[in-house]
Amino acid sequence: MKKLINDPKDVVKEALEGMALAHADILRLAPEPAFLVRADAPVEGKVGIVSGGGSGHEPMHGGLVGFGMLDAAVPGPVFTSPTPDPILEATKAVDSGRGVLHIVKNYTGDVLNFETASDLALAEEIEVRSVIVDDDVAVKDSLYTAGRRGVAGTVLVEKIAGASAERGDDLDTVAGLAEKVNANARSMGVALSACTVPHAGEPSFDLGEDEIEIGIGIHGEPGRARIAIEPADAIVDRLLAPILEDLPFASGDDVLLFVNGMGGTPEIELYIVFRRAAEVLRERGITVTRHLVGNFTTSLEMQGCSITVLRLDDELTELWDAPVHTAALRWGR
Amino acid sequence: MKKLINDPKDVVKEALEGMALAHADILRLAPEPAFLVRADAPVEGKVGIVSGGGSGHEPMHGGLVGFGMLDAAVPGPVFTSPTPDPILEATKAVDSGRGVLHIVKNYTGDVLNFETASDLALAEEIEVRSVIVDDDVAVKDSLYTAGRRGVAGTVLVEKIAGASAERGDDLDTVAGLAEKVNANARSMGVALSACTVPHAGEPSFDLGEDEIEIGIGIHGEPGRARIAIEPADAIVDRLLAPILEDLPFASGDDVLLFVNGMGGTPEIELYIVFRRAAEVLRERGITVTRHLVGNFTTSLEMQGCSITVLRLDDELTELWDAPVHTAALRWGR
């Protein structure tokens, strides 16, 4: 295992310290229990938004803390849910009296620990709503999940819910918009290589020299099929077909097309994927009115990508366009 | 070789098409000879800025085209200089009558081809100035270079020269600021793995299972030393010491600290590197007043990073902070 790390047990702690040093204008590190929180939290009169989960998916979630997006991000160890304690503390730190939304990816550990934290917050008279993200169409039930997994669509939920909270919407409205994004987003991914969790020291699964995994989970969980490598256009077609059939998306839809890198894929390849995906959507009469391309929901150094398609209406488009200022996503401010 | 590509000979063309589809609000693709150019070029009354070089270093340079930065980016084949012809056409496309700055990384092919293009532009009565970037302290003379190589510091040159041009400075001023950034920036990189050029199909060099290359070039050229993997903090110290001694940087300096990912390194590791680098600078009495962390000057899927330190004064800081709106870098607008 070759990584730019010190002691494997310090990876998350030291990366958080680096984040806090680099982005002191945006966020600060609450040290014990550790979470990243907006420098100006709690923001008076604003619904708070907390997300989190296992580390190793950066910039999600710490890189998405800031104006117009998350108020706090609670990191667990690599690929392992945070415990209820830091989730509770983050919830308390961002509550200004208007309540707090938890955005939770659908993994059994995350769901359980956010639920416990939510109960504990309620006992301290903080109103909490939870939205579970389950945008991955690849498989139903998986290694760590009952039902569908939550993957890169989470970034879109966080952006749009964040914009809603920033303009002063109440907790029901913010939660309703998060649910609306989840209901209109579908994703699927592919892995060309595995990744190595630092404290494990070995790749999390084996892929043959010419094999790829279609429908991979963001922790390397099995997908739909293991096949021989194909041209990028054929792989894109394999990812897009189940996405488009699932909602279903239809001719006349306006969509946001999100090509997400898994961490180890060159940007040049992500744009080749974007090119084909945009072509397929055009052929189906679906218009790409917004886009996102880059590494947002990663699996350490895994090579591969995921595609997310989100059906947009005027309300979602307006909230997507609203100003945001985080380490990973910024515009309009 | 597993990559998200179609025919290896179409990689650059298809990636450019994907870029143009995704970022039509910012740039367009001039098809033949191919280069990326600001959607609103030529911008009246503004000095034009053209950069370019071999592909495979994305988002540099195409992702840096836009308001406040480059007017055009001329891509060669992967790791191969573009010919004079597209450089000339890009120069003509961005000239509004106030002249054009070429920002050229110090590689023999790039220098030669930009020089030829500059002569041809002059014959068409376009005034061209060229600034050669050579920020890499690792080695003097290298596989493709006489003198020092130009690496990630190029991004900083392009940002600051771009801000100067955007506020209406004349060609001499814009070129002078680009030279000033180059004179005050020093970089050095490390590779943990090689990368594979698509049309070659094989890794560009071999690294043993526990080996790293200190002082790597962005095309995998040899550096200063091949050593056994060490903790991240020790590697950072090896990169920073020659950077700081070279200028030299001194106690009391304000600097921009730039940790650049080579393409295949998880963000979590880049922040571990940032943490140590910031610590070393603080110990030396050097203040990090600005920063940049992420994949900007990559070598396809290479694992590793580079560190760039730029000494700032008020003028450079103000131009760094000025609004920018490109695919890869955006703030303030």
What number of C-beta contacts closer than 8 Å exist between A and B? 181
CA angle, A273 then A162 then B330, to 5° = 55
pLDDT tens-digit map of B53-88? 999 999 999 999 999 999 999 999 999 999 999 999
Looking at chain B, which residue has its C-alpha nearest residue A275?
B18
Say what the pLDDT of residue A66 is.
Answer: 98
Closest CA to B33 of B78, B79, B92, B103: B92
Q: Hey, what are B256's tokens?
A: 């921009």
**b/e per residue, A61-71, with b = 16+ CB within 10 A?**
bbbbbbbbbbb
Q: What is the pLDDT of residue A122?
A: 97
Q: Which two three-digit tokens encode residue B138?
A: 């690792």
Model confidence pLDDT, tens digit, residues A175-224? 999 999 999 999 999 999 999 999 999 998 889 999 999 999 999 999 99
Q: pLDDT tens digit string along A255-307?
A: 999 999 999 999 999 999 999 999 999 999 999 999 999 999 999 999 999 99
Whether the per-residue pLDDT at A142 is higher than 90: the answer is no
User: ipTM surpassing 0.90, yes or no?
Assistant: yes
- Report the alpha-carbon distance of residue A111 to residue A103 in Å, rounded: 10
Nearest by CB to residue B267, choosing from A58, A190, A235, is: A58
| pLDDT for res A170 | 98
Q: Which helix (H) or strand (E) holds A154?
A: helix A153-166
Q: What is the pLDDT of residues A87-137, one digit of tens each?
A: 999 999 999 999 999 999 999 999 999 999 999 999 999 999 999 999 999
Q: Which CATH class is domain B11-183?
A: alpha beta
Show residues of chain B in contact with A307, CB under 8 Å: none
Whether residues A275 and B17 touch (CB distance < 8 A) is answered with yes
What is the Cα–Cα distance from B168 to B44, expressed in whole angstroms? 10
* Minimum-distance CB partner of B268 among A6, A11, A275: A11
CA dihedral A285, A291, A297, A301 (to 10 degrees): 100
Q: What string of H, E and C letters represents the secondary structure of B125-137?
A: CCCEEEEEECCEC
Domain locations in chain B as residue ranges: 11-183, 185-324+327-331
A23, A57, A61, A102: which one is catalytic? A57
Task: Name residues whose C-beta falls within 8 Å of residue B40's C-beta, 6 or more positions apart in sequence.
Answer: none
Contact B107, B76 (CB under 8 A): no
Instruction: Tell me which residue of A307, A302, A269, A280 sits closest to A291, measured CA to CA.
Output: A307
**Mean pLDDT in chain B?**
97
For the stretch B78-127, pLDDT in tens is: 999 999 999 999 999 999 999 999 999 999 999 999 999 999 999 999 99
| Predicted local confidence at residue B145, as pLDDT | 83
Q: What is the largest CA-CA distance in chain B?
A: 55
d(CA A183, CA B111): 53
DSSP lists the bridge partners of residue B50 as: B72, B102
Measured CA to CA, the distance from residue B275 to residue B295 in angstroms comes to: 17
What whole-number distance in Å separates Cα of residue B182 and Cα of residue B134? 7
Question: What distance in Å separates the CA atoms of residue A220 and residue A225, rounded to the nearest whole number?
Answer: 13
Q: Is A264 in contact with B22 (Cβ distance < 8 A)?
A: no
Going B145 to B146 to B151 to B154, the CA torsion angle's sign is negative
Chain A contact probe: residue of B267, B291, B324, B330 with most A CBs at under 10 A? B267
Low-confidence ranges of chain B (pLDDT < 70): none
Q: pLDDT tens digits, residue range B274-294?
A: 999 999 999 999 999 999 999
CA distance A233 to A280: 10
Question: CA-based angle A315:A333:B185, to the nearest 5?
Answer: 140
> A212 to chain B, minimum CA–CA distance in Å?
8
> Class assignment of domain B185-324+327-331?
alpha beta
A219 catalytic residue (yes or no): yes
Q: Residue A1: pLDDT band by 50, 70, 90 thresholds?
A: confident
At the top level of CATH, the class of A8-183 is: alpha beta
- Classify burial at B231, counting beta carbons within 10 Å of its beta carbon; exposed 0-12, middle 13-18, buried 19 or more: middle
Q: Which residues pair with B55 in a beta bridge?
A: B78
A57 is catalytic: yes
pLDDT at B61: 97
Task: List pLDDT tens digits, range A23-74.
Answer: 999 999 998 999 999 999 999 999 999 999 999 999 999 999 999 999 999 9
User: According to the model, what pLDDT value does residue A141 have?
Assistant: 81
Beta-carbon count within 10 A of B143 CB:
13
Report whether B20 contacts B73 (CB < 8 A).
Answer: no
Place of tokens 């450079």: B316
Query: Taking a C-beta distance cutoff of 8 angstroms, is the pair A277, A256 a contact?
Result: no
Closest residue in chain B to residue A195, using alpha carbons only: B266
Q: Do residue B265 and residue A293 have CB atoms under 8 angstroms apart?
A: no
| Per-residue confidence (pLDDT) for residue B30, from 0 to 100 | 97
For chain A, what is the total number of helices (H) and then of strands (E)? 8, 15
Share of chain A above pLDDT 70, in %: 100
By C-alpha distance, the chain B residue nearest A272 is B15
